[in-house]
Amino acid sequence: MASALPNPQGEVFTLSEELLSHALQASRHSERRRIIQPIQRDQSARVQRLLNCLQPLTYIRPHCHPHPHASETICLLSGSLEVLIFSTDGGITSRHLLSVKSPLIDLQPGVWHGMIVKEPDTVILEVKQGPYQASTDKKFAAWAPPEDSPQAAQYLAQL
């Protein structure tokens, strides 16, 4: 199952209505109910920039970014999203609703977090230091079910 669309090419990236429409359509048809539209030209970029197109009921397993340089900034572009902050044992320590009036959250490295998508066609811009390496980018919470497990939907509903 594809998790991302192709990286753009060329010196300038512009988020056109056509590109956004294509990414949102892909998220609606994705098994995961989300799709990434990278902005950086390749995964080795020192700053990772991406659009994450999200639909309700997508399960974003709680995780943290373990590297000391791995702060993450999330800016809401459309829709509504709740960012959950967890303790190391899985308790929710805070909830942050991203909306038009409060569209940005910045997380320090090592902060356990997850998200609940509140509206269809929610789009966020994520920025963090690269380069991206799938094997080390995220540490998934052992106390939360894997994305492909039968327990994932029930866990999401409990959140």
How far is residue 35's CA from residue 43's CA, in Å, rounded to a whole number? Answer: 16
- For tokens 């399960």, the residue is 59
**pTM for this model (two decimals):** 0.95
Kindly give the pairing relationship between strand 81-86 and strand 47-54: unpaired
Q: Tell me phi and psi for residue 121, to 5 degrees.
A: 55, 40
Q: How confident is the model at residue 134 (pLDDT cuts 50, 70, 90)?
A: confident
- Mean pLDDT of the residues in the chain: 95
8 A C-beta contact, residue 55 and residue 34: yes
Q: How confident is the model at residue 16 (pLDDT cuts 50, 70, 90)?
A: very high
Q: Does the pLDDT of residue 133 top 90, yes or no?
A: no
What confidence tens digit (pLDDT) does each residue in 138-151 have? 999 999 999 999 99
Q: What is the mean pLDDT of residues 22-31?
A: 97
Contacts of 143 (CB under 8 A, 6+ apart): 62, 89, 90
Query: Which CATH number fits the domain 17-142, given the four candidates 3.90.76.10, 1.20.1250.20, 3.30.70.120, 2.60.120.10?
Result: 2.60.120.10
How far is residue 58's CA from residue 72's CA, in Å, rounded to a whole number? Answer: 20
Q: What tokens were used for 39?
A: 């902005």
- Alpha-helical regions (H) of 101-151: 134-137
- Alpha-helical regions (H) of the chain: 17-29, 134-137, 152-158
What confidence tens digit (pLDDT) does each residue in 88-121 have? 999 999 999 999 999 999 999 999 999 999 999 9
